Amino acid sequence: MADFPFEISPMFEGERVRKEGMFVELGGPKSLGLELVRAADMDAIVDDQVTIVGPDLKDMEEGKTYPWAMIFNIGGELVEADLESVVERRVHDFINYCQGIMHLNQRYDVWMRVSKDTAGKMDSFEPFGRAVMMLFKTELPFIEKMQVTFYTEQAEVEKQMTEAKEIFKARDARTKDLHDEDVDVFYGCTLCQSFAPTNVCVVSPDRVSLCGAINWFDGRAAAKVDPEGPQFEIAKGELLDAVTGEYTGVNDIAKKLSAGEFDKIKLHSFFDSPHTSCGCFEVVGFYIPEVDGIGWVNREYQGMSPNGIGFSTMAGQTGGGKQIVGFLGIGVNYFYSPKFIQADGGWNRVVWLPSILKEKIDETIPADIKDKIATENDATDIASLKAFLEAKNHPVVATWVAAEEEEEEEEEEEEVAVAASPMMMPAAGFQMPAMPMMSGGSGGGIKLTFKNAKITIDKMIISQKKEKK
Amino acid sequence: MTKVIAITGKGGTGKTAVAALMIRYLSKKGKFLLAVDADADTNLPETLGCENVKTVGDAKESLQVEIKKPRPDNPDMNKESILKSKVYEIIEEMPGYDLLVMGRPEGTGCYCYVNNLLRGIMDKLIVNYDIVVIDAEAGLEHFSRKILRDIDDLIVVTDASRRGFQTAERIRELVSELDSNVGRIHVIANKVTDANRQEIVKLAGDLKLNLIGVIPLDPKIEEMDIKGIPLFEIPDDSVAAVEIEKIVQKLGL
């Protein structure tokens, strides 16, 4: 390692420079602090160059706070604009590796302190800049050339800040546009396995974690820093079905993490092999067989759903890391996904939301369906929900008509359905919504799992549906 | 190595006063010290003469609000760094020591992720100090959640009541169920008078509790309390301050 006036080690990462031991403060709550990483042409970068605009360390007065901006330029054959944010996240780590330098926050909220000890060992920020760039180039070898400019003058920092905010804005717009098909890896999280041992949380650009706290970017950052930690990479593998969101890589991890309990998880499916539900989910979806639609209830809503059950009861039934057909836990952010339960009709299947939730996610509900979704102010039980949907001509109503037409022809099957229904009742109390009715006779079919079940059947008739003329 | 001292006990036994006196003595000795208020029901900051402090609970809550926004402004924000910054920002820098207040309990929703971040942050923060003194509630919740992990010395403060000693016994049982490592458990009897001193020493012996100190009822503390003077300003020669000095020495700090 080249010679630096201070020590460099990950050990210093959480180091706190106290007010009493501080030489100067840069940025922070009382001033302006900025950091930005920009990709640049190799030719435009003078490798290892540190430029200081404004007073340098030796010109600073002890105990004072100065405005601060640092702009890093990176170059290399593999360097592209999309990598800027990945590199920028590491600025915090690498600066903190430097003894006597405390770095907090990110982007336009940067706050740094330089200790008296370290300030006593150098007159300039130059060795500090070189040390940080050395760390970047060692740890992220795709960076071939790097230079940095430090600004410590109010007017100059303000100017950089204005420009940087535009850059961040454009970058955020790009990240918001990232979808499942744009990436090669998803991320898994096992934090909830402590209480839901078979839970498999899969986080993709189009699917936030159920607790709402971890998005794809958090997964990426955490897995990079600690691949053995609770968040880890899942190679997508082969795409089996783009609509349901089924990938070989996700199925493999589902098998592994659930200890064989499930062999498939389809990311954007409600009925068939849905995502497991941990217990932390912000919202739970429930199938309402009487209207062939799906209602959603959030943790904050204290009332009842049209099926007569509240969030806590449903959460109790749904949680524990199982795939429960007819219920699905999600994070609120998933409503904003363009792939929101797209395997099962997406928004056209949504029939009920509590008004507080409907208001909160208003902007993401498609305009043509918004008024057709009931809240507790429109419907509190199945009958009033049915009437509301009918009056508004909700898309699910069309499926009722088709189902009614079939009813006559299905009469002879009814005997079987009645005989079978007691087996579908879970032991734990309330009536579980029946399996989705297959209107029109097509569709993927259903899977029934019995565990520790004792079934006695005198007679069972299974017959094929007659084709409609 | 950082030494972690947790002080707990039944409400009303004067554990916060003991914690404050210990912090006062240690900070005067020139130790690099972090004081942690981990009991939402008490008032360590006021006892130390520090008001309107922000709390880790507030920091957690504001991060929770930020990350639960349906459409975050920056989906790629570094949440660990942001929470760490918030925690470092709310640390109150007092003369001779730093103060961190854990604050309010959690709201509804899932805090697994935020708590997991906080664990890592606290681990890194604690190694900055020679000594960490924690004023902890009797249920030791921050330890059972592993936000704070290992304790070198757990001190249970009791008054002269039998119930105070029973709490001490219960805490000893609770500790055996914790995942955290707890080095030694001690008991301090507080507000002791000449009339009940002998009986207290005997009671502690019967219960096999390791009595490390007996603090006499100190009229100076009561006087300061009524006048609203922070305990931090207690004179060095007050009986309680003298006894605390002995206890700290026995702990080898």
Q: Tell me: the pLDDT tens digits for A146-177?
A: 999 999 999 999 999 999 999 998 888 877 88
Q: Do A172 and B108 touch (CB under 8 A)?
A: no
pLDDT at B52: 80
Q: Does residue A106 belong to the interface with chain B, where contact is any CB pair within 8 Å?
A: yes
Closest by CA position to A70, among listed A32, A34, A24: A34
Question: Domain end: A175, A207, A231, which one?
Answer: A175
Position A370 pLDDT exceeds 90: yes
Contacts of B121 in chain A (CB under 8 A): 14
Question: How many other C-beta atoms lie within 10 A of the C-beta of residue A354?
Answer: 23
Kindly state the tokens that stand for A214: 């971890």
pLDDT at A424: 42
Q: Do A106 and B98 touch (CB under 8 A)?
A: no
A120 and A187 assigned to the same domain: no
More confident residue, B161 or A371: A371
- The CATH number for A211's domain is 3.40.970.20
A170 and A182 assigned to the same domain: no
- Cβ(A375)–Cβ(A301) under 8 Å? no
A249 and A204 assigned to the same domain: yes
Position A442 pLDDT exceeds 50: no
pLDDT at A450: 65
The rounded percent of chain A whose pLDDT value lies above 70 is 88
Average pLDDT, chain B: 89
pLDDT at A420: 41
A108 and A16 assigned to the same domain: yes
* Residue A103 maps to a domain: yes
A19 and A110 assigned to the same domain: yes
Spatial neighbors of A405 by CB under 8 A, at least 6 apart, are A468
- CA gap A154, B138 in Å, rounded: 50
Mean pLDDT of B233-241: 92
Stretch among A92-101, A190-199, A422-431 having the lowest mean pLDDT: A422-431
- CA gap A85, A169 in Å, rounded: 12
A155 and A241 assigned to the same domain: no
* Residue A166 maps to a domain: yes
- CA gap B197, B8 in Å, rounded: 21
Closest Cβ opposite residue B75 in set A14, A215, A282 = A215
Kindly state the tokens that stand for A384: 């009033």
* Residue A269 maps to a domain: yes
Question: pLDDT band at A35, cuts 50/70/90?
Answer: very high
Contacts of B79 in chain A (CB under 8 A): 213, 218
Closest Cβ opposite residue A175 in set B75, B80, B98 = B75
Q: Does residue A109 belong to the interface with chain B, where contact is any CB pair within 8 Å?
A: yes
Average pLDDT, chain A: 87
pLDDT at A144: 96
- Cβ(A156)–Cβ(A54) under 8 Å? yes
* Residue A427 maps to a domain: no
- Cβ(B125)–Cβ(A18) under 8 Å? no
- Expressed in percent and rounded to 5, the helix, strand and coil fractions of chain A are 35, 20, 45
pLDDT at A51: 98
Vertex A264 angle, CA A263 and A269, to 5°: 155
- CA gap B153, A146 in Å, rounded: 49
Q: Do B78 and A13 touch (CB under 8 A)?
A: no
Residue of B nearest to A315 (CA): B109
Kindly state the tokens that stand for B154: 């757990």
Q: Is the dihedral of CA A388, A392, A394, A396 positive or negative?
A: positive
* Residue A141 maps to a domain: yes
Residue of B nearest to A92 (CA): B81
Q: Do A19 and B93 touch (CB under 8 A)?
A: yes
A198 and A149 assigned to the same domain: no
Rounded to 5 degrees, φ, ψ at A225 are -75, -40
pLDDT at A258: 87
pLDDT at A240: 96
Mean pLDDT of A254-275: 92
- Cβ(A358)–Cβ(A338) under 8 Å? no
What is residue B20's three-state secondary structure?
helix
pLDDT at A431: 43
Identify the bridge partners of residue A27 per DSSP, sorted by sequence position: A111
Stretch among A255-259, A332-336, A450-454, B182-186 having the lowest mean pLDDT: A450-454
Question: Domain end: A237, A252, A281, which one?
Answer: A281
A21 and A120 assigned to the same domain: yes
Mean pLDDT of B51-56: 87
Position A432 pLDDT exceeds 70: no
In tens, the pLDDT along A202-249 reads: 999 999 998 888 889 888 878 876 778 889 999 999 999 999 999 999
Q: Is the dihedral of CA A165, A166, A172, A175 positive or negative?
A: negative
Contacts of A174 in chain B (CB under 8 A): none
* Residue A167 maps to a domain: yes
Mean pLDDT of A96-106: 94
Q: Does residue B67 belong to the interface with chain A, where contact is any CB pair within 8 Å?
A: yes
pLDDT at A138: 93
A31 and A146 assigned to the same domain: yes
A168 and A45 assigned to the same domain: yes
Contacts of B123 in chain A (CB under 8 A): 14
Q: Do A106 and B77 touch (CB under 8 A)?
A: yes
Q: Does residue B196 belong to the interface with chain A, where contact is any CB pair within 8 Å?
A: no
Q: Do B109 and A299 touch (CB under 8 A)?
A: yes
Stretch among A295-309, A412-426, B177-191 having the lowest mean pLDDT: A412-426
Transcribe B69-123 into DSSP letters. Answer: -SS-S-TT--HHHHHHHHHHHH-EEETTEEEEE--SPP-SS--HHHHHHHHHHHH
Q: Does residue B1 belong to the interface with chain A, where contact is any CB pair within 8 Å?
A: no
Transcribe B208-253 into DSSP letters. Answer: T--EEEEEEP-HHHHHHHHHT--GGG--TTSHHHHHHHHHHHHTT-
A72 and A204 assigned to the same domain: no
A27: left (phi over 0), alpha (psi -120 to 50) or beta: left
Mean pLDDT of B161-177: 87
Kindly state the tokens that stand for A65: 């706070």
- The CATH number for A167's domain is 3.30.1650.10
Question: Domain end: A133, A158, A175, which one?
Answer: A175
Contacts of B89 in chain A (CB under 8 A): 29, 104, 111
In tens, the pLDDT along A383-430 reads: 999 999 999 999 999 988 777 776 655 555 444 444 444 444 444 434
Position A69 pLDDT exceeds 90: yes
Closest by CA position to A301, among listed A212, A387, A380, A394: A380
Q: Does residue A215 belong to the interface with chain B, where contact is any CB pair within 8 Å?
A: yes
Question: How many other C-beta atoms lie within 10 A of the C-beta of residue A25?
Answer: 23
What is residue A328's three-state secondary structure?
strand
Which range of residues forms the domain containing residue A197? Answer: 176-281
Position B16 pLDDT exceeds 50: yes
Mean pLDDT of A434-449: 49
Q: Do A361 and B70 touch (CB under 8 A)?
A: yes
pLDDT at A467: 58
pLDDT at A365: 96
Mark out the alpha helices in A258-363 (DSSP H runs): 311-318, 355-360
A21 and A165 assigned to the same domain: yes
- CA gap A410, A414 in Å, rounded: 7
Question: pLDDT band at B106, cuts 50/70/90?
Answer: confident
pLDDT at A232: 92
- What Cα–Cα distance (Å) separates residue B177 from each residue in B10, B38, B105? 19, 19, 22
* Residue A183 maps to a domain: yes
Domain count for chain A, please give it: 2
Residue of A nearest to B64 (CA): A213
Q: How many residues does chain B have?
A: 253
Q: Do B93 and A176 touch (CB under 8 A)?
A: no
Contacts of A13 in chain B (CB under 8 A): 124
**pTM, whole model, 2 decimals?**
0.76
- CA gap B122, B56 in Å, rounded: 11
- Cβ(B176)–Cβ(B78) under 8 Å? no
Contacts of B93 in chain A (CB under 8 A): 18-20
In chain A, DSSP finds a helix count (H) and a strand count (E) of 12, 17
pLDDT at A98: 96
pLDDT at A447: 58
* Residue A343 maps to a domain: no
Closest Cβ opposite residue B108 in set A299, A333, A361 = A299
